[in-house]
């Protein structure tokens, strides 16, 4: 507990000294607040349609109503949809990481600790999945299962397990020979306790780094899949589905429908990437440039 | 080397089989796949007929074996929307996609190497800082959004580039019509600029960062110091001593990048109404044309696997240590 408290303080000091990561953290905090309190912050109901104010330009005054970021083809407020979208995009990203992380960590621990056929099977499966672009796999499953937040989380999560499994396996392989693991074994600790209480806490640093990059790539993939019509059902606003809808009005130069959701994605992903870069340098210099 | 080639090829065959297994599982993931092939108003008798015709009433292992046997013969089923063999439609769209992927690939490599080298040589300066930030930015932009922004700015606002369409180069070339192919080429490239840059952005950013870090590592080595101490000109040191050795990690990455590009192509083609596999897949997804989706995905995946195999073998040629390591 003590060492972890020290680690946190060390992280915090180094974060305050670094300009970009601090900024990235601020952006992510804003996104998190928006995701949590979006419904209270949104000036309009994101699903409210209004024929009178269809395709209103940003800041334009239409019949006494101002849509700060404009309105879409059904007269729905872009800002409100963006705020609601933050919730789904972030939820999908984090939940997918949780699903992929749990599968990957368990698989990696077992493969690294037991070796033998458990290791062989796990790693061959991982190789196979890495052997072709994940988005193709996602398309295959989602086209059959149909769009939906649950399906999306599941498929994106399955897409991520390999990354965690490989790192956890490699770390477990080296840790299982260490004295403190030997000691736990000699004390008669159960295998589960050795895996999850003795080994796992020592792999938290690289996992944190991977997870922050992962959220970034999952959000990008979610946007791509939603854009293809494979993400969430059409009525649910996400940043990706808002971009998909913007396609129809693009040629009419309704730029605000395309610019703002994309900016939201970019800023969020950029922040996760900057934070990931920085975490890697601070927590685990060995992972640099991987 | 022969053993390595055989080993690697065998591995690829296993992976391709894995892809077919995954797509088979995907097909059955939602329960009885018959419902994917009939209209919503189909009667129970019609459904039963289709189920029997497509063989979904047989045991799963039998179905899988016949699925693989069909694929091996090039039979991917009949497209539900085109009423033609799915493979023909996919193969017809392939040349356009290859043109786009290759073009994007060239951009991603041709710009990444000088940018990465310049950043490494100017480590810690404003130049390095800007390239690094641009790199991070490039890795954070969804490539289809990059495409949309380019359409808005360079297409609709400045009117520099066409916002959609494609002029075929590979197709006439494959048909032996050289005059048409090379006559088309300038316009082919003109139409490829915007979708190409959009697809390349992510890879360009990633490659630049990779070249930079690889160069930095090599520049710190003793033999580079020796070369400098010998009084060699800086460009000789950089090109002949450093860049040559910085190559290896870059080559591995390049193979993976190409597959990544193929993935990005799927979404970006849709933005530019580009007549390749991506748009085909997009339409197939929206019409729930399952055989067409499967044919497109499996062929793209097979291509990717093939490319990776080639890259691995090239890598083994470039770096003798790879073979040695396997033999030990």
The Cα–Cα gap between A28 and A269 comes to: 9
The Cα–Cα gap between A262 and A191 comes to: 47
Q: What angle do CA B176, B177, B182 make, to 5 degrees?
A: 120
* Distance to chain B for A152, nearest Cα, Å: 14
Q: Which among B197, B157, B158, B161 is positioned nearest to A250, based on CA atoms?
A: B157
Q: Which residues of B touch A247 (CB under 8 A)?
A: 148, 270-271
Q: Which residues of A touch B (CB under 8 A)?
A: 127-128, 131-137, 139-141, 143-146, 216, 220, 223-224, 227-230, 240, 243, 246-247, 250-251, 253, 255, 258-259, 262, 265-266, 269-270, 273-274, 277, 288-289
Token readout for B325 is 């390591």
Q: Is pLDDT above 80 for A1?
A: no
Tell me whether 0.90 is exceeded by the ipTM: no
* Distance to chain A for B294, nearest Cα, Å: 7
Count of residues making up chain A: 290
The DSSP code for A70 is: -
pTM for the complete prediction?
0.83
pLDDT tens for B144-165 read 899 999 998 998 888 899 888 8
Distances (CA, A) of B126 to A43, B119, B210: 42, 9, 19
* Distance to chain B for A115, nearest Cα, Å: 20
Q: Is pLDDT above 80 for A16?
A: no
Token readout for A13 is 């000091």
All residues at 6 or more sequence positions from A139 whose CB lies less than 8 Å from its CB, including other chains: A225, A228, A230, B266, B281, B285, B293, B297
The Cα–Cα gap between A190 and A180 comes to: 14
Q: Which of B148, B210, B281 sits opposite A258 (nearest CB)?
A: B148
B150 three-class SS: helix
pLDDT tens for A141-186 read 888 888 888 888 999 998 889 989 988 998 898 888 888 888 888 8
Distance from the first to the final alpha carbon of chain B: 14
The Cα–Cα gap between B248 and A45 comes to: 54
| pLDDT tens-place values along chain B, 328 residues long | 677 788 878 888 888 888 888 888 888 877 777 877 777 777 888 888 888 888 788 888 888 888 888 888 888 888 888 888 988 899 988 889 889 988 998 888 889 888 988 998 888 888 888 888 888 899 899 888 999 999 989 988 888 998 888 888 888 888 888 888 888 888 888 999 999 999 999 889 988 888 888 888 887 788 888 888 888 887 888 877 777 777 777 776 776 677 677 777 888 898 888 898 888 888 888 787 888 888 888 888 888 788 778 877 777 776 666 554 443 3
Q: Which residues of A touch B285 (CB under 8 A)?
A: 139, 143, 228-230
Nearest CA in chain A to B257: A133
The Cα–Cα gap between A265 and A239 comes to: 7
Q: Which residues of B touch A145 (CB under 8 A)?
A: 29-30
For residue A143, the tally of other CB atoms under 10 A from its CB is 26
* Distance to chain A for B301, nearest Cα, Å: 5
The Cα–Cα gap between B50 and B70 comes to: 18
Token readout for A116 is 């033998």
Q: Which residues of A touch B297 (CB under 8 A)?
A: 136-137, 139-140
């Amino acid at each position: 507990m003590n060492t972890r408290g020290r680690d946190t303080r060390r992280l915090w000091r180094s974060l305050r000294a670094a300009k970009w990561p601090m900024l990235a953290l601020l952006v992510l905090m804003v996104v998190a607040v928006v995701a949590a309190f979006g419904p209270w912050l949104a000036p309009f109901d994101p699903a409210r349609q209004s024929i009178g104010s269809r395709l209103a330009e940003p800041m334009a005054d239409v019949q006494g109503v101002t849509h700060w970021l404009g309105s879409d083809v059904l007269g729905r407020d872009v800002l409100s949809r963006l705020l609601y979208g933050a919730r789904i995009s972030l939820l999908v990203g984090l939940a997918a990481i949780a699903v992929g992380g749990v599968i990957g960590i368990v698989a990696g621990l077992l493969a690294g600790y037991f070796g033998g056929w458990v290791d062989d099977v796990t790693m061959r499966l991982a190789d196979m999945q890495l052997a072709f672009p994940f988005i193709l796999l996602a398309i295959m499953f989602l086209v059959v299962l149909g769009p939906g937040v649950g399906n999306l989380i599941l498929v994106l999560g399955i897409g991520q397990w390999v990354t965690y499994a490989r790192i956890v396996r490699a770390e477990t392989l080296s840790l299982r020979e260490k004295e403190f693991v030997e000691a736990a074994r000699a004390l008669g600790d159960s295998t589960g306790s050795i895996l999850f209480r003795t080994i796992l806490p020592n792999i938290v640093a690289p996992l944190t780094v991977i997870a922050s990059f992962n959220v970034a790539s999952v959000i990008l993939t979610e946007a791509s899949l939603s854009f293809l019509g494979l993400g969430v059902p059409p009525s649910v606003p996400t940043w990706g589905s808002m971009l998909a809808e913007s396609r129809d009005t693009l040629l009419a130069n309704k730029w605000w429908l395309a610019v703002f959701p994309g900016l939201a994605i970019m800023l969020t992903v950029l922040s996760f990437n900057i934070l990931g870069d920085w975490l890697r340098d601070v927590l685990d210099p060995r992972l640099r440039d991987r | 080397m022969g053993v390595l080639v055989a080993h690697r090829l065998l591995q690829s065959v296993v992976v391709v089989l894995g892809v077919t297994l995954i797509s088979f599982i995907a097909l059955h993931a939602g329960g009885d796949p018959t419902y994917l092939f009939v209209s919503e108003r189909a009667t129970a008798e019609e459904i039963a007929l289709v189920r029997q015709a497509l063989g979904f009433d047989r045991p799963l292992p039998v179905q899988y074996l016949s699925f693989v046997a069909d694929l091996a013969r090039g039979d991917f089923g009949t497209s539900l929307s085109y009423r033609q063999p799915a493979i023909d439609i996919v193969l017809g769209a392939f040349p356009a996609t290859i043109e786009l992927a290759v073009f994007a690939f060239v951009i991603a490599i041709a710009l990444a190497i000088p940018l990465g080298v310049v950043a490494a040589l100017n480590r810690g300066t404003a130049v390095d800082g800007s390239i690094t930030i641009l790199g991070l930015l490039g890795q954070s932009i969804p490539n289809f959004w990059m495409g949309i922004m380019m359409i808005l700015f360079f297409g609709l606002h400045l009117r520099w580039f066409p916002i959609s369409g494609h002029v075929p180069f590979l197709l006439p070339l494959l048909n032996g019509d050289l005059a048409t192919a090379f006559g088309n080429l300038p316009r082919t490239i003109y139409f490829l600029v915007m979708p190409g840059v959009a697809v390349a952005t992510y890879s360009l950013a990633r490659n630049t960062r990779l070249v930079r870090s690889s160069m930095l590592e090599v520049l710190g080595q003793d033999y580079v110091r020796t070369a400098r101490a010998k009084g060699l000109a800086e460009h000789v040191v950089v090109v002949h001593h450093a860049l040559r050795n910085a190559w290896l990690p870059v080559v591995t990455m390049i193979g993976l990048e190409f597959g990544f590009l193929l993935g990005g192509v799927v979404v970006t083609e849709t933005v530019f109404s580009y007549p390749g596999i991506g748009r085909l897949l997009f339409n197939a997804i929206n019409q729930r044309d399952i055989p067409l989706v499967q044919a497109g995905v499996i062929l793209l995946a097979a291509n990717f696997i093939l490319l990776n195999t080639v890259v691995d073998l090239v890598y083994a040629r470039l770096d003798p240590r790879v073979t040695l390591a396997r033999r030990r």
